[in-house]
Structure 1
Amino acid sequence: MAQAKKGGGGVPALGWWLMTVGTVRLPFAWPCFFGSASLCSATYSQAQGADVHGRTVGVWTLLSCTLCFLCAFNLGSRPIYAATFLSLVYAYGHFVVESLVYHTVRAANLAGLGFFAVTAMVWMLLQWNSHAPRAANKQP
């Protein structure tokens, strides 16, 4: 597997993608805190809920953005990498269930969310150990 990072410095392509994912998700937190009682306006277009539920989704979104940025700059940290990967799985799984079971998320919204989440998940799986620090060979 070819590594996306060449040389000694800079952020690998996966890191840039994770920063993009975090940046794209960030504006979706705003209506959760300051929008109407409906949960995060466009995403949960078919749902009705209390303001506290919207703010909870907002905090969840901010947390997932934070994980994306942390992982982008720490791709070699296996715990952060795994936590970020699982946060993407859980979040997208939640939206799939909301769409297919509860019908609170439209298919078009699911596709938009999936473009970023599924791309990140597949890319992270393909490069699972590519960024881990290598053990130095020490000669006695």
Structure 2
Amino acid sequence: MVADACGHASIGFCLVRILRHLGSSPCRFLQDYQSVVFLFFVSEVHGRTFGVWTLLTCTLCFLCAFNLENKPLYLATFLSFVYAFGHFLTEYLIYHTMAIANLTTVGIFAGTSIVWMLLQWNSYQPLKSKHS
């Protein structure tokens, strides 16, 4: 695994993964979770789909945290944050189906992750040794 000097990237991805998982737990176990996230009724199947999608993105973050040098996996993880933020921003701005408080929470995690991953884009590539 290639990481920054203190391993902050792996710790950061694991933290985001754990928080995402904790956030999706009510989606799988509580019937009335939709009042927490959305402003309208969501069917049980849509709630479970949201929970599974969140679990999938948690897994992606976890895998990326331990394989930062894997460029395609890094890109897939980066795009998952972009897609999530774009989706929830659309729900708020266009469809008016999401509360601003929830958009703020998504924005903090996704926005920070997007900026961080862009700033660190080539930082985790293995150093090429020069052969004399």
Partner of 1:28: 23
Residue 5 (structure 1) aligned with residue 33 (structure 2): no
Deviations along 1:31-69, one digit per CA (max 9) or x if unpaired, are 222222663x4122x021211111110111001111111
Aligned residues: 130
Tell me how far apart the structure 2 counterparts of residues 108 and 87 of structure 1 sit (CA, whole Å): 21
Partner of 2:10: 15
Deviations along 1:4-31, one digit per CA (max 9) or x if unpaired, are 722xxxx621221111111111112222
Partner of 1:43: 37
Tell me how far apart the structure 1 counterparts of residues 46 and 107 of structure 2 sit (CA, whole Å): 22
How does the TM-score come out when normalised to structure 2? 0.90
Unaligned stretches of 5+ residues in structure 2: none
- State the Cα distance separating 1:136 from its structure 2 match: 2.3
Unaligned stretches of 5+ residues in structure 1: none
- Greater fraction of residues in helix: 2
Read off the aligned partner of 2:124 and give its amino acid letter: H
Instruction: Tell me: higher relative CO, structure 1 or 2? Use CA pairs within 8 A at least 6 residues apart.
Output: 2
Residue 54 (structure 1) aligned with residue 47 (structure 2): yes
How does the TM-score come out when normalised to structure 1? 0.85
Cα-Cα RMSD: 1.6
- Contact 1:37–1:54 under 8 Å retained in 2: no
